[in-house]
Amino acid sequence: MTSSPDWDGRIFSDGWRAGSADPIDVIAPATGASLGTVGAATGDDLDRAVASATAAQREWAAAPYPVRAGVMLKAAQLLQDDPDRLAGILVPEAGSGQGKAAFEVGLVASELQEAAAVASHPYGELLRSMKPRTSIARRVPIGVVGVISPFNFPAILSMRSVAPALALGNAVILKPDPRTSVSGGLALAALFEEAGLPTGVLHVLPGGGDLGAALVAHPGVPCISFTGSTAAGRRIGEAAAPLLKRVHLELGGNNAQLVLPDADVAAAATVGAWGSFLHQGQICMTTGRHLVHRSMAKEYVRVLAEKAERIPVGDPAEGAPLGPIIDERQLAHVAGIVDAAVAHGATVAAGGAHEGLFYRPTVLTDVETDSPAWTEEIFGPVAPVHVYDDVDEAIDIINASEYGLSVSIITSNAYRAYELCDRIESGAVHINDATVDDEAVIPFGGVKASGVGGRFGGPQASLDTFTETQWITMQDDPARYPF
């Protein structure tokens, strides 16, 4: 892995080459060991990439759709034949548990397969007209799409933008998070290169916030697809607005699990543990708020705390299901919120401690709704529990959050829970399943501070997000006008 002839010390822009800035160290958060380096791009590299992508995109868009679909299918097949080409770097670089890494690889393959289908999807409609002519609306590629992706699920959160954008005839410039430049970018470039993607259609430029800002501001990049924190999304939206760019922002979440009084407590706690602790809670869909009816709250906390205490935490390369927090800065954020919650009157029922970057799965009780642990996105393995007395109160608490990404409802009466969905402000509601859920075929996205712009997944969402609408009329004879 560290001796890779492809990504080690390089960027991907018209082939593999050195970046113009000092290389970025690739560090395994679980051990602190170096996995090698990647190249780092500058504004000059970005200018060169935009010029190359603009030229390559024209020919790529003009290619028959089976050509674009074939590249997507070939990439999916290569990944299915050798999943370790991606999982093998997700584990050390992103701190992914091996199960999480395997799951992520499967999602990436699904995104590629669905993107192949999007390439052949109907891309227009025949419109009625008051005039004797043919009137159609068709979808055309935007041109060059800039993608900025995060560290937590780096491969899938890059690919869900990259694959459909490419399949629909766009070129892509991808800037992955510098902490996961390989699994979130360069490993995907190697996959596409082997699958036959033409030179210049995809560029992967590792770098920090300055490079991301330059990508957002670049006049040759008319569309930005960003996945990351709400704070960063607000800055991107502010920077892009005067430029009248199309911007898609998939942002943070502080997702609630509502346990109704008729729920099975053990089943609810299982769903809650998965929702809060998977990948150390470093997921936008993580269950950050547990709303439990008073009649079962003590039992729920007991079972959830027992589960938290039993989950092994350690180096995922050695088989631990939960790995490290991504870095010291994020660890300090998680620990600071837990400490503030305790100072605010919360009780630690499990966890609340760490060794190095390994933060124990944590259960907090007596959490009030004005506590930072309740109002903020923690992005760590922390399950705050709040007790409610009636469902109306609980729904008001859910909707009081600025976020609206995912909600889970646990109940023995799914149809009753379905009736509550009309009252819940959320991009997704999962009845008897966790807040953490995604499939390549669904239009994924949030509301309120959890996102704005197009959605990811499914043919219609991909068309809405990565194409423009062009209206065309045709008639045999030129129109006659009075002057």
Say if residue 173 is in the same domain as residue 305. no
Q: Yes or no: say if 412 and 263 are a contact pair by the CB < 8 Å rule.
A: yes
Residue 225 backbone phi and psi in degrees, to 5: -115, 110
Active-site annotation holds for 421: no
Question: Measured between alpha carbons, how far is 257 from 260 in angstroms, rounded to an integer?
Answer: 10
Say if residue 468 is in the same domain as residue 328. no
Say if residue 233 is in the same domain as residue 261. no
Q: Looking at the predicted structure, is the pLDDT value of residue 211 above 50?
A: yes
63 located within any domain: yes
Tens of pLDDT along 99-118? 999 999 999 999 999 999 99
439 located within any domain: no
Say if residue 221 is in the same domain as residue 283. no
Q: Give the CATH number of the domain where residue 238 resides.
A: 3.40.605.10
Task: Report the mean per-residue pLDDT for the chain.
Answer: 96
Q: Give residue 1's pLDDT.
A: 45
In the chain, the amino acid numbered 405 is: L
76 located within any domain: yes
478 located within any domain: no
Question: Measured between alpha carbons, how far is 210 from 213 in angstroms, rounded to an integer?
Answer: 5
What is each CA distance from 456 to 48, 441, 443, 445, in whole angstroms? Answer: 28, 9, 5, 7
Say if residue 245 is in the same domain as residue 266. no
Active-site entry in 93, 284, 376, 377 = 284
Active-site entry in 250, 309, 402, 419 = 250
Say if residue 18 is in the same domain as residue 56. yes
The pair of structure tokens assigned to 1 is 């892995």
Mean pLDDT of 146-161: 98
438 located within any domain: no
Which residues 6+ apart lie within 8 Å of 235 measured at CB?
none
The pair of structure tokens assigned to 79 is 């990944």
Question: Measured between alpha carbons, how far is 434 from 411 in angstroms, rounded to an integer?
Answer: 12
Active-site annotation holds for 419: no
Tens of pLDDT along 1-25? 444 558 999 999 999 999 999 999 9
β-pair partners for 382 = 362
* Domain count for the chain: 2
The dihedral over CA atoms of 271, 272, 278, 283, expressed in degrees to the nearest 10, equals 110
Q: Looking at the predicted structure, is the pLDDT value of residue 364 above 70?
A: yes
Q: Looking at the predicted structure, is the pLDDT value of residue 435 above 50?
A: yes
400 located within any domain: yes
Q: Give residue 391's pLDDT.
A: 97
Say if residue 405 is in the same domain as residue 267. yes
Say if residue 394 is in the same domain as residue 259. yes
Mean pLDDT of 172-189: 98
pLDDT band at 458 (very low <50, low <70, confident <90, very high): confident
Q: Is 163 helix (H, G, I), strand (E, B) or coil?
A: helix
348 located within any domain: yes
Residue with tokens 């991009």: 427
Question: Measured between alpha carbons, how far is 22 from 39 in angstroms, rounded to an integer?
Answer: 7
Domain extent at residue 45: 11-251+450-472
The pair of structure tokens assigned to 92 is 């050390």
Say if residue 302 is in the same domain as residue 354. yes
Work out whether strand 354-355 and strand 223-227 pair parallel, antiparallel, or are unpaired: unpaired
Say if residue 274 is in the same domain as residue 354. yes
β-pair partners for 460 = none
Say if residue 272 is in the same domain as residue 247. no
Say if residue 246 is in the same domain as residue 259. no
